[in-house]
Chains A and B, each alone.
Chain A
Amino acid sequence: MDKTEWTLSELAAELGLTPRTIRYYISRGLVDGPRGAGRGASYDARHLARLREIQQLQSEGRMLAEVAQRAGRSDDLPTPEAWWRYPVAEGVVIEVRADLAPWRLKHIHRVISEAAKALKQEDRDDAEHGI
């Protein structure tokens, strides 16, 4: 028969996590607390599924702060993502994921700057030619 209840350590072992990590997730509102308390505290299939989902989101590059944004929302809602929005020229917007590593963002900024500069130059040239 399939297992339907787990203690904290059993749940942690099942998922390759430590109990402390699960408590941390509960404290951050990523996972509901257990049913019962103390040695009688138990976790069910919903906890297991939620923790697996968090692991999946992390493997896709989501940080816990992003996962937390989803907590408490309807399951139908997709996970929100944070993006920076750069209006580089009239009618042109470039969006960049906000949680990229800062060193990578710096490279991206350089490219956006160049694009913004090039577009501005194009606009100026167009204006000069009355386009």
Chain B
Amino acid sequence: MQSTGFEVRYADREEPIQLAMQRLWLTGQILPVGARLFVRHDFRHDEDQNLEVVYSFMLPRDAALRKFEVKGEGFEAHSELRRVEEAVREYEEGLEAGHLATLARSYRDGVVNLSLGNLRKGQDISVTLEVLAGVELTDSGLRFRFPFTIAPGYHAQARMIDTGAGGEIELPASEFGDVILPTFQRSAEGLHDVGFDLGLRVGEVSEISSPSHAVRMRKEDGAWRVSLSPAVDVPNRDLVLDVRQENAGVQILSGEKRFVLAVPSTQFGKSENGPRKVAFVVDRSGSMQGAPMAQAKRAVEACLAALAPEDQFGIIAFDDRVEPFEHRLCKPTAATRLHSAEFLSHINARGGTELAAGFAAGAKLVGEGGFVLVVTDGQVMGTEEILAQARAHNVRIFCLGIGSASQDRFLALLAEATGGVSRFVTPKERVDLAAVDLFASIAPPVAAGIELTGADFAVLPPATVHAGVPWVAFGERADPGEVTASWPGGRLTFNIPAPDPAVADAVRLLEGSRRITDLESRMTSAAEKSLEPQLVALSEEYGLASRACSLVAVVKQAGDEAGAPPLTRVVPVGMPEGTEFDSYFGAVGGALPSPPMVSAPAPDRAARAGGIVRRRAMEPTSPPRATRSLMRKAMDFMEGVIAPAPAQAPPAEDIVMEAEASLVYGDEEDRLLTLASSLEPDGGLPGTSPEDRALKTINALLLFCSEGHTPTQGVFRAHVKRMVGFLENLDGLSKDRGVIVGRVVEMVRAGDAKLAAGSGGALGWDELERMIGA
């Protein structure tokens, strides 16, 4: 480690933390349907004996490892893909002979152990892993998420302990083999540095933001690059990047004989709501305590307001027990909504996360063909078993994940496995709004029975398209040409262009990583052996690692000498930001007298709470707060859309944005959420008479329209649709008022810009009449 003038020590004792991995640096390219990443790990230590360093990390969604490169002074070596047993044998033989050996092995739940053995004192070694990963797609852009730490997870047989040097988790070897999980530090300060510098190759970008990190953006050769600002950070949360694309249209990546299509759902038409049976399943596990729990409750309340009279709903709260609001589905009447609000107000975060029991109860409530909306942090292990249970229920599961460390891979699989949609938000974001947005996509498919001609497909693309989520198809064809998607009610034709050399084999690899992730997710303990040959075949076909095939490299250097076995050092990580250390490793209950521990040294919590010996040399500065529109202006400025006056020339070439929740959502959303939650079961706002209710509802509609929410677009689209429905069916108005209401409805449906401009304040009927020119 380079001398910094600081020394990193455990917060509760005087021993210094021995860092064997100094830095993790993420580079690569984000593409329209995935990302090709290069993760560089820098190792160095000052201990007298050779080390075996084990770094444990979680794969992003739809991800697989392709290869790695090991570099040191005077050498460079590349990994080979081998069956796990062979890779382990090569690694072990290399270690025994005194060579530097590296092994990247995947385990259940997408956990990977990167082991670097025989690292000599003072030697600088870097291991750069190439990772293919998926992204979360919406019609308006994508969310990229990369885990810089790993979240502790619930498993009925897991054991956890606070050793004083950090929290340790041990999983049953019968299920998880020899996986080593990191030690979890209360604080990530002083651990290895993390950083990133990523390129975007995703067509026309209208906005880039990050709710997790301060980012710096710049344009290089016409493409955006995003990097961390300041230069380094700590490993206690995922990197989350949001890329918005206005009028994204169909995106086609054409690689070597392969292509991938991402088609916005809007191209297939609109979904018409029919009666829905929806169960809201709320995770009340201990790890949800605090803001996530409060936001989850608000989220459900806001969603209830978007239910139509013909819908039915249920609410389930679960931890390691299941507690239903009612044992049957309810109509969304004023009375049931009031009772459900009372029920929600009594939910407190407490036990473990028996997710499968939660959605099983939800599935039982709604029955076949129903919808389950799960709000959870997803912090569970042994996810393959949970997925198997989810597949057995014939319901669509929509997942809203909350957390700063990723269980995105699992929740994405859970949604995909059941034909639902998954969104994963950070605790800094508005979970309630994300829930409302997700809820709005709970509807019958926009299109079903899609058939394709003009290409071969290794895996058939989804036959259905859901509102808000692009339809993605990976295909194979030797030459450029037309591919046609047809379904009862429509037909779309796409022109596959000539291969783009910049994409190279990325399309094939992204397809492979999705297929491997899907197959691995089906490998429960019972199915492990029977599916392994298929997994080996997939790994070998695409040249990607999996649970059946690992990456290994042995470097023979001059002076290598067989000696004592290297000492194992496990790379520690920080607890995910916002997750209480004590919710996994603590023992003291709030109302109880503080217990001394007997037969073992009591950890000095006060000293530990005192925290950190070393402060980061690079505290992030406080850049000016900005809103989305400012961000857009800044990006326009960078692109030369707005020519700056010479006197106002910016001092720097880059845009630096701090990650703040307020950047993403402001008070206006609070106001909209309150309005949305107050909709009556018929979709209108409460009032003293039909005229009063109509006027209030129209004013609310104007507000929603001015913020970009229409019956088909925006987070509150379901609420806007319901308000429009209310106005259309409203009786008891005078003829004049009826004309105004009818005109407003027409204008909302047509997306008339006058409406968006008319929300300066509450309007009376006369002002309204003037505004719409009725």
A and B together in one complex = yes
Least distance between A86 CB and chain B CB atoms (Å): 5
Give the residues in chain B near A86, CB-CB below 8 Å: 592-593, 595
Q: Which residue, A64, A84, A85, has most C-beta atoms of chain B within 10 A?
A: A84
Asked if A41 and B565 make an inter-chain contact with CB atoms under 8 angstroms apart, the answer reads yes
A residues in contact with B568, CB < 8 Å: 20, 23-24, 26-28
Is there a chain A Cβ closer than 8 Å to B249's Cβ? no
Asked whether B591 lies within 8 Å of A113 as measured between CB atoms, the reply is: yes
A21 on the interface (CB 8 Å rule)? yes
Nearest A residue to B319, CB-CB: A103
The answer to whether B565 and A34 touch across the interface, beta carbons within 8 angstroms, is yes
Q: What are 6 residue pairs bridging A and B, where the CB atoms are less than 8 Å apart in the complex?
A: A33-B564, A41-B564, A63-B161, A82-B599, A103-B352, A112-B592
Kindly specify which of B292-300, B444-452, B548-556, B578-586 makes contact with the partner chain.
B578-586
Question: In whole Å, how far is B580's beta carbon from the nearest beta carbon of chain A?
Answer: 10
> In the complex the two chains form, is A98's CB within 8 Å of B600's CB?
yes
Residue tally, chain B, CB below 8 Å to A: 56
Residues of B with C-beta under 8 A to A14: none
Q: Output the least CB separation between B364 and chain A (Å).
A: 23
**Which B residue sits closest to A38, measured CB to CB?**
B562
Is the Cβ of B92 less than 8 Å from the Cβ of A9? yes
Q: Counting CB contacts under 8 A, is A53 at the interface?
A: no
B593–A87 CB distance below 8 A: yes
Task: Tell me the chain A residues, 4-57 only, with Cβ under 8 Å from chain B.
Answer: 8-9, 17-21, 23-24, 26-28, 33-34, 37-41
Alpha-carbon gap, A80 to B168, bound state (A): 18
- Please tell me if B652 contacts chain A, counting CB pairs below 8 Å: no
Give the Cβ gap from B95 to chain A, nearest Cβ, in Å: 8
Question: Contact partner of B565 among A8, A63, A112, CB < 8 A?
Answer: A8
Residues B159 and A101 in contact, CB atoms below 8 Å apart:
yes
**Chain B residues whose CB sits within 8 angstroms of the CB of A82 once the complex forms:** 161, 597-600
Which single member of A41, A80, A85, A103 contacts B350 (CB below 8 Å)?
A103
Task: Give the A-binding residues of B (Cβ under 8 A).
Answer: 52, 54, 88-89, 92, 95-98, 115, 154, 158-161, 163, 168, 170, 173, 177-178, 180, 285-286, 319-320, 350-352, 561-570, 582-589, 591-593, 595-600
Complex contact A27–B597 (CB within 8 A): no
Residue of B nearest to A83 (CB): B598
CB within 8 A of A65: which of B89, B92, B168, B595?
Answer: B168
**Assembled-state Cα–Cα distance A51/B159 (Å):** 19
- Nearest-Cβ distance from residue A106 to partner chain B, whole angstroms: 5
With A and B bound together, what is the CA distance between A109 and B168 in angstroms? Answer: 22
Residues of A within 8 A of B320 (CB): 103
A85:B596 contact, CB within 8 angstroms: yes
Q: Are A38's CB and B97's CB within 8 A?
A: yes
Q: How far is the CA of A80 from the CA of B601 in the complex (A)?
A: 11
Query: Do the beta carbons of B92 and A19 come within 8 Å of each other?
Result: yes
| A103 near B565: Cβ-Cβ < 8 Å | no
Is A107 part of the binding interface, using a Cβ–Cβ cutoff of 8 Å? yes
Q: Given contacts A20-B115, A87-B595, A103-B351, list 15 more A-B pairs with CB under 8 A.
A: A19-B88, A20-B92, A20-B178, A20-B568, A27-B568, A37-B563, A38-B96, A38-B97, A40-B562, A65-B163, A83-B599, A101-B352, A102-B587, A112-B592, A113-B589
Interface 1/0 per residue, A61-91 and B, CB below 8 Å:
1011110010000000000111111111000
- Per the bound structure, the CA–CA distance linking A113 and B161 in Å amounts to 23
> Which of chain A's residues has its CB closest to B51's CB?
A27
The listed residue (B98, B170, B598, B600) touching A69 by CB distance below 8 A is B600
| A63 close to B591 (CB less than 8 A) | no
CB-CB under 8 A from B592, the residues of chain A are 86, 109, 112-113, 116
